[in-house]
Amino acid sequence: MGCCESALGTHPEREHQHQQQQEQGLNPPLNTHPLSSAAATTAAGGVPSFSEFSLSDLKAATNNFSPDYIVSESGERAPNLVYKGRLQNRRWIAVKKFTKLAWPDPKQFAEEAWGVGKLRHRRLANLIGYCCDGDERLLVAEYMPNDTLAKHLFHWDKQTIEWAMRLRVALNMAEALDYCSSEGLPLYHDLNAYRVLFDEDGDPRLSCFGLMKNSRDGKSYSTNLAYTPPEYLRTGTFLLCIQVTPESVIYSFGTVLLDLLSGKHIPPSHALDMLRAKNIVLLMDSHLEGKFSSEEATAVIGLASQCLQNEPRERPSMKDLAASLDPLQTKSDVPSYIMLGISKQVEAPPTPQRPLSPMGDACSRMDLTAIHEILVKMHYRDDEGTNELSFQEWTQQMKEMLDARKRGDSAFRDKDFRTAIDNYSQFINVGTMVSPTVHARRSLCYLLCDQPDAALRDAMQAQNISPDWPVAFYMQSVALAKLDMHQDAADMLNEAAGLEEKRQKGGRGS
């Protein structure tokens, strides 16, 4: 099979952040700029909306497409190189660089990219952008840091993939492909073990690059006769000119199931001969050392055989495959990174490129005690101009509200954070006055009470009240980091530092 990318994507987010997202308006704008702040991200696990990138941004991200940044499985010999890179907002990306002659028409390339870029799914390493500049044709996707299925299955250093994880890989692939089919993109080019990637949590995801044709004519670049669907050989079609069909995708899925079963890349015809001779034990990966369920293995073998049927119409649908693989899942409560034998990547928000204020420094270090001291000293100086109350409102409700806030401030200074939450909540719930500072203080209280979701909501509300207030962004950064959303945390930290810099240039105190 053709050599493919080894990594796409970033973000250690939780399951609730991986909801499906549909992008609207697929006509590609001609002069858009890459969205580089956390505000540009969507609700789908922090995945940015699809956009056009400038060549200069991608050059900067990849150190001018340095050979050291190449992550294609076959390195510089790959037909379409894939580089890892890091944008100014600290997001890791994967950049696929096509040959100059593959897409001579920039409009056609952009339309194809936007078609793939509308997809958002937790089982995909999603496409987040593209670039057309002169002869350059580039795709930008989420970066996956933990290598390919091929690497873990065929070239492992420490341990082979355990059986339950292989079943998880098969299901995730089927779910990704079924989703793509339901969204009108059933064709996947060169589906193989190099296209399955592992994210920060070790979860298997399918590369979005396979959804994009390798060139304007959509021809397959697989050159191994042993893995070619039999219908192509029967028609005598020249191999380099074959067109991918939904049925050929199913056939390729069957070859990956064989990979998962055997731990080797064996020709389907050879595998089928072994199955007909009932040599199932010989087919199974010896490195599993018998640690698998015979019933489950027999079921997967049956699915692989169905996928590899000579007649395309006799192959199952991807929806049926997903439905058949789902009941076979075991160890559903065990994180993928544990089964894969890797360390979960957790890092503090990287320091932004701008110099940090004491507040920014405390947030970058996740020093909640230092943040508390700063918020106490700041008092309410940044709340000016946030309220315009009528005389009636002042006389009827002000005393009760200010008393609640005063009690909250006293508890906050005394580090009685649960009492502070109760009193600040009384102030906020009346709703006559708004105070970004109260939301920032309650946000910190929630953090200190191990409630990062509530802390993030308060920090976001502080930003809604005062959109250019750096503290609101800083508090979001800390809450996001506590939620393991480290890339978004870094984005927010950088955003806050930028707002402080802008305030200083404007002659205002921060």
* Residue numbers annotated as active site: 190
Q: CA-to-CA distance for 363 and 481, rounded, in angstroms?
A: 10
Q: CA-to-CA distance for 92 and 140, rounded, in angstroms?
A: 10
Establish how many alpha carbons lie within 13 A of residue 257's alpha carbon, considering only the half-sphere containing its beta carbon.
28
What type of residue sits at position 243? Q
* 239's tokens: 């191999």
**Nearest by Cα to 196 from 78, 325, 340, 296:** 340
Q: CA-to-CA distance for 488 and 401, rounded, in angstroms?
A: 35
DSSP 167: H
Which positions ≥6 away from 467 have C-beta within 8 Å? none
Contact 8/143 with Cβ under 8 angstroms?
Answer: yes
Q: CA-to-CA distance for 302 and 428, rounded, in angstroms?
A: 60
The CA distances from residue 144 to 21, 92, 125, 198, in Å, are: 20, 9, 7, 6
Which positions ≥6 away from 471 have C-beta within 8 Å? 359, 375, 378, 382, 436, 437, 440, 462, 496
**Nearest by Cα to 39 from 488, 501, 497:** 488
- For tokens 């015979």, what's the residue? 294
How many Å is the maximal CA-CA distance in the chain? 91
Contact 264/154 with Cβ under 8 angstroms?
Answer: yes
Length of the chain: 510
DSSP 226: G
449: how many CB neighbours lie within 10 A of its CB? 14
**Nearest by Cα to 80 from 15, 2, 197:** 2
3-class secondary-structure state, position 507? coil
Contact 101/219 with Cβ under 8 angstroms?
Answer: no
DSSP 228: S
Contact 53/140 with Cβ under 8 angstroms?
Answer: yes
15: how many CB neighbours lie within 10 A of its CB? 10
